[in-house]
Amino acid sequence: MKKLPLLAIGLVALCSGLMISWLVYDTRPVTLETGQWFGDQARVLPGFELVDHNNQRLDNSRLSGKWSLMFFGYTNCPDICPTSLQTLSDMMNAIDDSDVRKSIQVIFVSVDPERDSPEILKPYVQYFNEDFIGATAPLSELNRLTTVIGIGHSRDKASEAASNYDVSHSSAIILINPAVEFAGIFGAPHNAPAMARDLVKIVERN
């Protein structure tokens, strides 16, 4: 007769343990409103070295321990870049949880290093948000990073000889997790409130 109470206690303990494990280590797939989350399929980024808008080195170590949103463009971009950076600024302002907000950094990577020096990048990115980081590197170094994450970019041949040339580039926003892995992607059109909700969900679940 004593075995039944012991069995009941054991079942309660087991259920409690499973519940605690589920709360602490929630492994359910993350469904996003506007982006794609790679989960266990996240890819480790290769070693890379950029220069930020303060002429400081920006490499894998600067991404470690933070959630990083990377957008690739150039300061002479007439439409996609300013629109996307404004959306990213609106997204950051839409995140009410200060801890979540502090865990995220936004990095604008110029794929036009010929014109976009650190001195040009700094006022450009800080016009949208004073916490945004601008960065660039020689094309050979940029390509080490962009090839892995599937970000295409090229100078338009029609304007290649001119000083006011255009650069074709992806409009996607890349999400890098604190382990410095390519963890997700937000495709255009970008929606600031939806991205904010998605990021809060990702950060709180991971």
CA 11 to the chain's CA centroid: 43
Q: Where are the domains of the chain?
A: 28-205
Q: What is the DSSP letter of 31?
A: P
Tell me the per-residue pLDDT of 9-27, one tens digit each, with 9 for 90 and over: 555 555 454 444 444 444 5
Tell me the per-residue pLDDT of 33-52, one tens digit each, with 9 for 90 and over: 888 899 888 999 989 999 99
Say what the pLDDT of residue 24 is: 43
Say what the pLDDT of residue 8 is: 54
Two tokens at 95?
């995140």
Whether CATH 3.40.30.10 fits 28-205: yes
d(CA 102, CA 187): 23
pTM of the full structure: 0.83
Q: Which long-range contacts (CB under 8 A, 24 or more apart) does 122-127 make?
A: 122/53, 122/54, 124/75, 125/53, 125/85, 126/53
Tell me the per-residue pLDDT of 101-156, one tens digit each, with 9 for 90 and over: 999 999 999 999 999 999 999 999 999 999 999 999 999 999 888 888 888 777 77
Q: Give yes or no for a contact between 92 and 106, defined as CB atoms under 8 angstroms apart.
A: yes
Q: Give yes or no for a contact between 190 and 84, defined as CB atoms under 8 angstroms apart.
A: yes
